[in-house]
Chain A
């Protein structure tokens, strides 16, 4: 008893400081994660639930729509991650020769589109993609290219979503890459120059390898973001036409809140989690280095 009192006197303030966050954490993250695992093995309605074993997972993997959604999401993520990494690296590298003022002006310009919501930006893209009086068809028309049904043609809609994502150079990548490039020690370049290295050799031999940690970080967060694409799909195409732009999160949303199949939606979400975790793991394995400079 005395020990309990002493323990309480020593640590009560520590527990007081973490209590609000931890309560919220267990209530709204910890418990729901465990509940999601349970739900995935149940047939759930708003009023009742019953165990169904692996049925939800069997349904998920035997559903053509889910496999299609996985494929669409994969295509989207691969192209978006590649384009974002390359474009932000290129912009950051091109920015280097300029003074701080010019650099921060451009960094601000590239970051600005990311402070507005995806809903807002997607609404503009809907107008830009509008077949009859949208900006894009007008612009292409000037070069004699015929009218394109950007969001209505089943073979094009997914590419339009990708296009709308990658045409905006990601501000996070530009900011992080230019900070990393700026912190590479000058001596490395000077040493290379003494050895007679040209600009291209310095770029591939020094800059790119030393940026690997930044590349890894960006790749992981962009891959996660790519696999979770939802808002622009929801508002620009709703997954259509004929489900040709349905992505995994769009499908989870539909399964849960149109079909009210909560068990299957949980199973889909867990599969998404597994895919994201697997990709992150592979990226860490192949890209992690212990670069120190």
Chain B
């Protein structure tokens, strides 16, 4: 699918030159349409705007009417309070248990580590499997691929309880491994990468083999560079999914030191700070700023990913 300048735009230009009266009428309608679009965008973006405004509004002003649509006295007191009052805990990774820090920062680091490690492993494994399904003929490949497609249909709630029982049996409740492991099994990425690698020409691969490169070397030096765009799309959606994950970490993690940002936010909401909106919104802002920056940096890949139908929901 392409996004060439569109039909209507072009025919509109044609008709517009026909008469001045027509021109003014088109202009008028264009402004009306633009106004409607701006209104829809304003409503859609209002919650995000309100989130950031409330985050920098003094707590006392968040419980007053009329609401301050533009903060009169912008402040960072909410963020400071959040970092001071969210409690302290030790980092539970890399043997750094004794490094005490604010829980808010702890949750940030936990989430970042989990998302990065998951995304990295995920993309590597998906690319390997996608390559095998796309380019290599081996017994069982059709059956396995159909099983993966069938699994796409099954909602995650079906495996929720069995996975919880498994993780309990493995004694991994309340550990990062327990959060991480089940999420690594994913089928959309394999599917996307298979589709993409299938369209790549086979000559380079053959040439590398002729030169005596090992299979692994062929994979890393030929397939991976060519599949990079599809890997980037997979990585971006995987990162977003892990960063925003809620239900599974909520079920597995009970120790607040181990929480991710999303679970931590829900914990804060159910704590004594549940009605301190400036406090809550500053936490929500900290949790969403990385994703927003991430989106603006990789917007192109987000849009591409949507178009290949890589995203479920």
Contacts and interface: CB of A to CB of B under 8 A. Distances in A.
Interface stretch (B17-25, B77-85, B91-99, B122-130): B122-130
Interface string B286-309: 011001101110010011001101
A289 B176 CA distance: 46
Contacts of B157: 228, 249, 252, 269, 272-273
Interface in B201-251: 215-216, 219, 240, 243-244, 246-247, 251
Interface string B124-162: 011011011100111101001001100101111111111
Contacts of A39: 161-162, 165
Interface in A198-227: 217, 221-222, 224-225, 227
A123 B160 contact: no
B9 A29 contact: no
Nearest to A169: B44
Contacts of B246: 117-119, 231
Contacts of B6: 96-97, 181-182
A283 interface: no
A280 B155 CA distance: 12
Contacts, number: 296
B33 A97 contact: yes
A123 B161 contact: no
A78 interface: no
A15 interface: yes
B185 interface: yes
Interface in A30-62: 30-33, 35-36, 39, 44, 46
Contact of A128 (B44, B50, B141): B50
A15 B312 CA distance: 28
Contacts of B182: 28
Contact of A265 (B161, B280, B291, B295): B161
A111 B302 contact: yes
B161 A17 contact: no
A90 to B, nearest CB: 8
A112 interface: yes
Interface in A121-138: 121, 123-128, 130, 132-133, 135, 138
B262 interface: yes
Given A133-B63, A175-B303, A120 B159 contact: no
A269 B158 contact: yes
A116 B269 contact: no
A21 B129 contact: yes
Band of interface residues on A: 35 or more
Contact of A116 (B3, B144, B288, B303): B288
A24 interface: yes
Given A117-B287, A272-B155, A112 B45 contact: yes
A31 B165 CA distance: 12
Given A39-B161, A180-B1, A115 B155 contact: no
Closest 8 CB pairs of A and B: A28-B185, A117-B244, A32-B162, A14-B138, A21-B129, A17-B132, A35-B162, A32-B159
Interface of A: 11, 13-18, 20-22, 24-25, 27-33, 35-36, 39, 44, 46, 87, 91, 94-100, 103-104, 106-113, 115-121, 123-128, 130, 132-133, 135, 138, 167-169, 172, 175-176, 178-184, 186, 189-190, 193, 217, 221-222, 224-225, 227-228, 230-231, 234-235, 249, 252-253, 256-257, 262, 265-266, 269-270, 272-273, 276-277, 280
28 contacts: A11-B138, A21-B190, A24-B125, A24-B181, A24-B184, A29-B185, A33-B154, A44-B165, A91-B40, A97-B33, A98-B30, A98-B34, A100-B3, A100-B5, A115-B295, A116-B244, A124-B50, A124-B54, A125-B47, A133-B63, A179-B3, A189-B11, A193-B11, A228-B313, A257-B251, A269-B158, A272-B158, A277-B153
Interface of B: 1-12, 30, 33-34, 36-37, 40-41, 43-45, 47-48, 50-51, 54, 62-67, 125-126, 128-129, 131-133, 136-139, 141, 144, 147-148, 151, 153-166, 168, 181-182, 184-185, 187, 190, 215-216, 219, 240, 243-244, 246-247, 251, 262, 265-266, 269, 277, 280-281, 284, 287-288, 291-292, 294-296, 299, 302-303, 306-307, 309, 311-313
